[in-house]
């Protein structure tokens, strides 16, 4: 009896390797693993063993061609070539692959939801700069950055609701055109920092400062990471946000953002950093009297961000977190 064939009529589908070929490929992996088995550092051995297994497994899974391998090497070389003290292309690559957010999730386990839950963490980003100027409570971290004035206030507490006094609150953000100071000529060095600063929470855990209303912006897309996004048909935009890094004795360091409610890119953040708990209303205020005795001629904005810090994880005698 004749039967109609339903086999594909296009190019021949790839077949898996023969048993002999699979054994040869496995022998390569086993030889590399043996090269790391002699390490006396158990954690190093664990990480490198897993890395080799996954990398070699990837090559076998997709049957990586030599041309693709060479293209990957050229891509990584390009990331290194474009990286500078103020542009970290490898951090950007980690961000757009979601690796940064996954690592953050692994290292910042949830503490529940609702009252008492620690503030959620998100990506660090490539635009942090050491040595930001200290800003007094109620001061202005914008330091001349362009944008509508924005008042930010809140408190720092632990998960039991106790105020955390003296917490260091580092903030940085882009101006209304979507640029950080390090992206501007001469910006980001001592004496030319704008849109960034640090302050310390008061005795009752409260904090407050002036800045500018953040704007959405594209991540740098004129390098290898931009090419990667273009090839995927992905947007390079990040929704408007302000970066926070909060540190205090005995507390887990928090790296996070606050996002502006209603931003059109909240659902397509190029680095997957948006979390619902971090989306805040930035309410527009009329011209006139503003906090800290300031008078504002035009519209200004205000928001409140209450930070809850988780306790620092206990460590073992070898310095790693306990299981």
Where along the chain do its domains lie? Answer: 19-64, 110-220+234-309
For residue 96, which of 222, 231, 216, 234 has the smallest C-alpha distance?
234
Identify the segments of the chain with pLDDT beneath 50.
Answer: 1-10, 316-323
pLDDT on residue 323: 35
The span from the CA of 18 to the CA of 84, in Å, is 46
pLDDT at 279: 98
The whole-model pTM stands at 0.85
- Tokens linked to 317: 């005698």
Q: For 170-228, give the DSSP string.
A: EEE---TTS--GGGSTTTTSTT---SEEEEE--TTSEEEEEEE----EEPP-SSHHHHH
Paired with 255 in beta bridges are: 245
**Contact between 132 and 200 (Cβ < 8 Å):** no
* pLDDT for the residue numbered 12: 52
Q: Are 280 and 305 in contact (CB under 8 A)?
A: yes
Exposure on the CB side of residue 246, measured as CA atoms within 13 A? 35
The pLDDT assigned to 317 comes to: 42
Right CATH number for 110-220+234-309 from 1.50.10.10, 3.40.50.720, 2.60.130.10, 1.10.3720.10?
Answer: 2.60.130.10
Do 189 and 132 meet the contact criterion of CB atoms below 8 Å apart?
no
């Amino acid at each position: 009896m004749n039967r109609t064939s339903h086999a594909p009529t296009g190019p021949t589908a790839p077949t898996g390797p023969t048993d002999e070929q699979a054994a040869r490929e496995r022998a390569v992996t086993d030889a590399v693993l043996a090269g790391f088995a002699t390490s006396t550092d158990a954690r190093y051995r664990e990480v490198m063993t897993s890395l080799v297994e996954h990398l070699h497994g990837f090559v076998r899974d997709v049957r990586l061609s030599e041309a693709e391998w060479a293209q990957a090497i050229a891509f990584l070389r390009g990331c290194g070539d474009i990286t500078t003290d103020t542009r970290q292309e490898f951090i950007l690559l980690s961000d757009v692959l979601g690796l940064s957010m996954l690592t953050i999730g692994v290292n910042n386990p949830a503490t529940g939801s609702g009252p008492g839950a620690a503030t959620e963490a998100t990506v660090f980003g490539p635009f942090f700069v050491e040595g930001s100027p200290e800003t007094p409570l109620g001061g202005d971290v914008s330091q001349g950055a362009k944008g509508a004035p924005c008042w930010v206030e809140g408190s720092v507490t632990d998960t039991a609701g106790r105020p955390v006094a003296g917490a260091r609150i580092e903030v940085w953000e882009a101006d209304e055109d979507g640029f950080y100071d390090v992206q501007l000529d001469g910006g980001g060095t001592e004496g030319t920092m704008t849109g960034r600063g640090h302050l310390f929470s008061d005795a009752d855990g409260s904090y407050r400062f002036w800045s500018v209303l953040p704007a959405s912006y594209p991540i740098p897309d004129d390098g290898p990471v931009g090419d990667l996004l273009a090839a995927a048909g992905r947007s390079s935009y990040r929704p408007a946000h302000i970066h926070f890094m909060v540190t205090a004795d005995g507390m887990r360091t928090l790296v996070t953002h606050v996002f502006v409610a209603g931003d059109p890119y909240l659902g397509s953040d190029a680095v997957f950093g948006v979390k619902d708990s971090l989306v805040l209303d930035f309410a527009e205020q009329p011209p006139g009297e503003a906090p800290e005795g300031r008078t504002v001629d035009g519209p200004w904005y205000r928001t409140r961000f209450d930070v809850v810090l988780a306790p620092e994880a206990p460590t073992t005698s070898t310095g790693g977190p306990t299981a």
